[in-house]
Amino acid sequence: MTKDRLSKTTRTFVTHWGEMGTRWGINRTVAQIHALLYISEKPLNADDLVECLDVARSNISMSIKELTGWSLVTLVHLPGDRRDHFTTPSDVWELFRVIITERKRREFDPTLQAMSAMVSASAGESAEVVRRLKELHAFMASIAEIMDQLKVLPPSALAGLVGAAGVFSTLMPKRGSS
């Protein structure tokens, strides 16, 4: 990211986001492209991305493929320009929703299945080991359910969870829920 088509702030943002990505198992370039598309007011094409991020064209191609595979980036065409242009939703909640959905599908659900299989196959194990496998499975199942519930929430519904009342009051056992 050397070419200075980007403002100082934007560059900081994109850099930081790439850094963040790597910490969560996301390729730096992939994360940077996504950050750039988020902050950009209009769709960018592959050459824009090459210039802004200073990586090889082929890298952009692969990374974009990855991002579209994650349903995070969509291909658009601008009138009178036959190059592919790319966008990502500018609504943060929507992005969150998509990421949660995909990570659940790709990583969480298979693990849940695997845990389930382990519990089934745990006949010879000690009672305590079985208990722990079951607990972990149950925990993950709860998280999975929450993820699914989050998916159907409207944008910005998150606000309802924070504040003086917040999660705390919600989760404390008071009404006989569930």
Partner DNA sequence: CCGTTAGTTCAGTAATTTCTGAAACATCAG
Partner DNA sequence: CTGATGTTTCAGAAATTACTGAACTAACGG
Window 122 to 161, contacts with a copy of itself (CB under 8 A)? 122, 124-126, 128-129, 132-133, 135-136, 139, 142-143, 145-146, 149-150, 152-153, 157-161
Pick 74 or 122: Cβ nearer a copy of itself: 122
Among 14, 17, 29, 73, binds DNA (CB under 7 A): 29
Binding positions for a copy of itself, 1-40, rule CB under 8 A: 7-10, 12-13, 16, 20, 22-25, 38-39
Give the number of residues in contact with DNA, rule: CB under 7 A.
22
Q: Please return the burial class of 73, using the count of CB atoms within 10 Å of its CB with bins 0-12, 13-18 and 19+.
A: buried
**Residues 117, 104: Cα–Cα separation, whole Å:** 18
Determine, following the binding rule CB under 7 A, whether residue 71 of this chain makes contact with DNA. no
Near DNA by CB under 7 A: residue from 17, 36, 63, 73: 63
Report the residue from 15, 59, 87, 116 that binds DNA according to the rule CB under 7 A: 59
Is 84 one of the binding residues for DNA (CB under 7 A)? Answer: yes
* Closer by beta carbon to a copy of itself, 24 or else 80: 24
Interface contacts to DNA, rule CB under 7 A: 22, 27-30, 45-47, 54-59, 61-65, 82-84
